[in-house]
Structure 1
């Protein structure tokens, strides 16, 4: 007998655990010692292959009911369905239902239907799965509930749920007017919502939340030709109870009404924002102090982004890292966002004098006002260690020779920190 086979089951399972489940199962042919060992694996992951699609489905259907692990730590399924010989919706429901009986802790489903297929409904037993900690659903999945109240009932039936990812496609599912997340145990929440013309409110009661990512978008397949999207549209409402444990937040929203949203910012240490121009008014509050904020990432795609930046610099006395960024998929929002900051700063913000150590500007256009802002930071940031400047590769305002001159000019500019390293990418 080989020496590996003499190891205890606990060690052999650790050897098998990183392998795809189907590969781990192939070890059953090695010897009697290995024949059923893989069936004690606490984590199951199946990713379909077009070449072995039918055999994999038969394998899961045969072995899932016989799986021996008393607790299934995670079940992850990545399948296309609705094609000839592919997995069926009934297969998915059966596999999930079996996993629920084994005290399932994490469920991750990524299902891709063909154009004519309906979405897959989850089994009703999932609604009362008290062991579920992480739930991730993507693409062709319809939670088996008739309306939003039932969705709330599903979430409330998961008393230890910690991680929730929801992508709502308004083009294919029911119109969502109010989305409510009321889960006291939840620690991580990611929402991607197609607002269409119907979404009106986001309601949250998640006192244990530590990480929150929210993205809204307009579904490209919806017809809004008869809707007047006024520039001053106030967006949908946002309501939340206190979240004292919130540490990190990422928000990319064109429509968010920021009045009630601002209160959450006071909790976080890490913040990434792409907000509508109306956010400037909501953020400009006398006495607002973001003393917890250490890391700020701000998108420069909107008209008033630089005014938002000034407000954050003023109100964040302990800021350590500042990232201004613009990606190519956001350039259509505002072709050349203006930079208006000079008249907003009558004194140097405290964070530049005492705490800012990292400064990055990704996607700089190359205008004089942008360059002046870079020089302002370099000149006044006394604790700065690194400053990274990345000019736009897709539509820079500078020719190659002009770019070289700008780099030389910035390299020779005055610096408040003798230790700062200036990097151009």
Structure 2
């Protein structure tokens, strides 16, 4: 007979049922294989994982082989000293040949020396994924990570750092196996350090960078030939500087997420012929270089400050099938018609407000084009407009798409929250608009 306490037994059993979709409801947790129990234990914080050693002889050593450990120094309000000693002992005792994930959630009292010891222990455990996040809600100072992190972590495949400080290192940075890297609110020694760090990640495929104020990097350079996915975010809490911006050289890129509200710049040094998805949300006054390098894009999400000089005249997006344009800026109508004209295979169009719009902003004048874009006549199947306000220009655009969209199958209009009477007027106006496609279904939400 198994000697598990009833409450814990029931908890584990429920986790089993949840993890396997009730496939083993006829079994008790004691009858489940070790492999499954280890998967279930991976769902628990490390403190609860280690506690299972007292349940029975079978569980005494099982916890040592758990493939994922999450250490949270705020969990159950234990003091930091006890927490640090617990991490030391449990990492030393861990026996799995490979530790798939090691996750630290640390607070304001975390010690750099402790992190140094834990990183060395992680290397001995052949950790594949390392996550270090610092909670600075009670302290303005992020943790300083030891140099050993980026000189001795040869087995890491994934690394995520949040609210930390990286120190300069005289020896070469070495991440020979790293494929995924997340740098969120990280402070660096200088511009050159970031370039050196990335240039030594020879197999890196996924990179996410969220810049923070005073991170010592004005121009973030990403030159990684192997990179497939890139997210670069620079928010409004950074100190404005005309020299701030991004330089990208990633010819293998397939997915791009670029957000920059600082009005800086982005220079793309080589075309990205493999790009499939792109999300561009920037306040740059000059945009030609960005869109002209991603003409192979299939899914495009845009929020631009202006449509003027957005990309060179004559550029074509031959593969674009899905387009979303944010309606928060005044130039959206000009941008919309231009991209429609240059996207002959577009099948889905979506307009919506991703950000709030200032009350003082006014719409630019829109005039119906002399010729209907090819995609509207031959390919456009779905059209969706979120936060539709029913202004004169919006009514004209919506009516134009309905009247010329020969292949439209579904049009969805979601009016912006307003009076019931106003919504009824919007619905009535569009419901009686002529439609080119007899199979077009118009719906309102």
TM-score above 0.5, yes or no: yes
SS of residue paired to 2:313: coil
| Counterpart secondary structure, 2:103 | strand
Q: Alpha carbons of 1:380 and 1:44: their partners in 2 closer, same or farther (altered >3 Å)?
A: farther
Taking structure 1 as reference, are residues 64 and 416 closer, same or farther at Cα in structure 2, changes over 3 Å only? Answer: farther
Q: RMSD between aligned alpha carbons?
A: 2.6
Q: Aligned pair 1:206/2:243, yes or no? A: no
Q: Which residue of the partner structure matches residue 182 of structure 1?
A: 223
**1:314 Cα deviation from its structure 2 partner:** 0.6
2:317 alignment counterpart: 290
**1:223 — aligned with what?**
none
- CA–CA separation in structure 1 for the residues paired with 2:63 and 2:154: 26
* Rounded Cα–Cα distance in structure 1 between residues aligned with 2:434 and 2:271: 44
**Secondary structure of residue in 2 paired with 1:81:** coil
Instruction: Find the counterpart in structure 2 of residue 38 from structure 1.
Output: 63
Report the TM-score when normalising by structure 1: 0.83
Whether the 8 Å CA contact 2:38–2:67 is kept in 1: the answer is no
1:132 aligned residue: 156
Does structure 2 conserve the Cα–Cα contact (< 8 Å) formed by 1:143 and 1:151? Answer: no
Q: Assess if the C-alpha contact under 8 Å between 1:251 and 1:275 holds in 2.
A: yes
Provide the C-alpha distance between the structure 2 equivalents of 1:38 and 1:110, rounded to a whole number of angstroms: 24
**Structure-2 residue corresponding to 1:358:** 382
Counterpart CA distance in 1 for 2:75 and 2:55 is 27
The answer on whether the counterparts of 1:355 and 1:383 sit within 8 Å (CA) in structure 2 is yes
Structure 1 partner of 2:292: 263
Tell me the secondary structure at the aligned position of residue 113 of structure 1. Answer: coil
SS of corresponding position for 1:137: strand
Shift of 1:167: 1.5
Shift in CA distance, 187/91, structure 1 to aligned 2, threshold 3 Å: farther
Looking at structure 1, the residues matched to 333 and 53 of structure 2 have their Cα atoms a distance apart, in angstroms, of: 62
User: Structure 1 residue aligned with 2:420, among 380, 400, 415?
Assistant: 400
Displacement, 1:261?
A: 0.8
Q: From the superposition, tell whether residues 384 and 103 of structure 1 become closer, same or farther in structure 2 (CA, over 3 Å).
A: farther
Say which of 215, 221, 243 aligns to 1:173.
215
Give the Cα separation in 1 of the matches to 2:247 and 2:46: 39
- Displacement of 1:114 in angstroms is 4.8
- Residue 313 of structure 1: CA displacement? 0.5
SS at match of 2:98: coil
1:293-348 deviation per Cα after TM superposition (whole angstroms, max 9, x unaligned): 12111111222111111111111111122111114x4313x6444153324x2111
The secondary structure found in structure 2 opposite 1:271 is strand
Greater Cα shift, 205-214 or 126-135: 126-135
Cα distance, 1:266 vs structure 2: 0.6
Match of residue 14, structure 1, among 22, 34, 39: 39
Correspondence for 2:18: none
Answer with 48-57 or 364-373: which moved more: 48-57
Tell me the secondary structure at the aligned position of residue 159 of structure 1.
coil
Point out where structure 1 has 5 or more consecutive residues left out of the alignment: 219-232
1:238-258 CA-to-partner distances (Å, cap 9, x unmatched) read 133232322111121113631
Cα distance in structure 2, aligned partners of 1:148 and 1:97: 27
- Partner residue of 1:310 out of 325, 328, 337: 337
| Structure 1 residues 169 and 331, CA gap change in structure 2 (3 angstroms) | same
Partner of 1:274: 303
Q: Of the candidates 215, 227, 242, which is equivalent to residue 259 of structure 2?
A: 215
Q: Quick one: distance in 1 between partners of 2:143 and 2:386?
A: 41
CA distance in 1, matches of 2:125, 2:278: 34
Choose between structure 1 and 2 for higher RCO, CA contacts under 8 A separated by at least 6 residues: 1
Spell out, residue by residue over 1:380-421, the C-alpha distance to the aligned partner (whole angstroms, 9 max, x if none).
22232322222222xx5xx43232122122123222333333
Per the normalisation by structure 2, the TM-score is 0.80
Q: Residue 90 of structure 1: which of 109, 113, 116 is its match? A: 113
Equivalent residue for 1:415? 435
Aligned mate of 2:347, from 287, 312, 320: 320
Pick from 28, 53, 59 the counterpart of residue 86 of structure 2: 59
Partner Cα distance (1:353, 1:406) in 2 = 25
Q: 1:148 aligns with which of 176, 182, 191?
A: 191
Matched, 1:374 2:413: no
Please say if 1:236 is aligned against 2:265.
yes
Structure 2 match to 1:229: none
Where does the alignment leave 5 or more consecutive residues of structure 2 unmatched? Answer: 3-27, 169-188
Change in CA separation of 1:30 and 1:270 when aligned onto 2, cut-off 3 Å:
same
Deviation of residue 168 (structure 1)? Answer: 1.3
